[in-house]
Amino acid sequence: MTDQAVPAARDEARTAPRTFETDTHQSFLAWRRFFWAKAASILILVSAALYGWHHPIPVPNGGTWLGYGLGTIAALLIFWLTWFGWRKRSYSRAGRVQGYLSAHVYLGLSLIVVATLHTGFQFGWNVHTLAYALMMLVIASGLFGVITYVRYPTLMTENRRGMTTQQFLSRIATLDGEARQVAMSLSDEIAQVVAQASQETRVGGSVWRQLSGRDPNCATAAALGCVQDLVRNLPPELAANGRALLVLLSQKVEFLRRMRRDIQYKAIMDIWLYVHVPMTFALLAALTAHIVSVFFYF
Ligand code: HEM
Ligand code: HEM
């Protein structure tokens, strides 16, 4: 690995997507014995019961008293979820963040029922249905996010096996240095292959590269294949060094593989926010248009 490649890899690792606070991963769904899950269930049941009991003429829709009631609750929830989604960043206590997230997730999910009943299942190609579709997109991306928060921290811990990003990088750099040293003692051709792999060692990169968790053009993996062929032709006195080089390159390939996977996990834990947050703003705009337009025409 070259001197330029090490800081480059370090920079990419530093700018890797942010992760969520580790201690909030596990327990926010069960916060205070599923307090918010119960609260959201009550909201869903009461809304469904009222909807079943209510028989407006001609059909259920957003314009009945229940329609207005459910619409108002849904809109208030959306504004609250947005506001507290934002405020959460300033909360310092882990317990408070957990409570917030728990409420955010369960009340957010309850919107699927509350807002749908508000519409009376009257959908069309209009701004009202656009607001509804955007809300569903925000909810679906949020659900994806929660699944990653529950699943990925464990996978990350297993993959890292106690190592930090810094330790990964220095281990790769050490293996790289050792491989270059051993390669120089073997032959010019091998030394050149290993030096080139060193110069072209990269982790991170484009969003797609990070999300894939692989590099099909990994220079070290290619070098390993090449060196495997070349060491066969070495004189017997260099065979031991040849084998040592293969071990070093294999270890480097393995560390690179684990580091790319680590970056992949972080990228997946972040990517959904690129839907969740912008779609929240689109939703707020469409919802405002919906509310203004119904007050205009009713
Ligand atoms: C203060 C909050 C709200 C008020 C006052 C309100 C009001 C209304 C009214 C009066 C209607 C009947 C319109 C008609 O029959 O043409 C309606 C329908 C509808 N609302 Fe709302 N709404 C609110 C919140 C929401 C929310 C949060 C959503 C979803 C994100 C939503 C989605 C819809 C949809 C999809 C319809 C059906 C439109 C159609 O008939 O084609 N509304 N709303
Ligand atoms: C229409 C409903 C929703 C709105 C308007 C909304 C809005 C937001 C906003 C504005 C944030 C702050 C993002 C940031 O920190 O940059 C956020 C965070 C979050 N949302 Fe939602 N959300 C909704 C529903 C949901 C649902 C249903 C779930 C899960 C099932 C969910 C899961 C999350 C999670 C896990 C975060 C925390 C992200 C983090 O700080 O790392 N959201 N949401």
The DSSP line for 159-221 is HHTT--HHHHHHHHHHHHHHHHHHHHTT-HHHHHHHHHHHHT-----SHHHHHHT--TT-HHH
What pLDDT is attached to residue 6?
37
Q: What is the mean pLDDT of the chain?
A: 90
Which amino acids bring their CB within 6 angstroms of ligand 2?
Answer: 20, 78, 81-82, 85-86, 89, 101, 104-105, 108-109, 111, 135, 138-139, 142-143, 145-146, 149, 273, 276-277, 280
Provide mean pLDDT across the span 159-185: 96
Provide mean pLDDT across the span 147-170: 95
| Per-residue pLDDT reduced to its tens digit, 207-252 | 999 999 999 999 999 999 999 999 999 999 999 999 999 999 999 9
CA dist 117 and 33 (Å) reads: 28
Q: In angstroms, what is the span from residue 33 Cα to ligand 2's centroid?
A: 21
Provide mean pLDDT across the span 72-77: 98
| Per-residue pLDDT reduced to its tens digit, 16-61 | 344 444 455 558 899 999 999 999 999 999 999 999 999 998 899 9
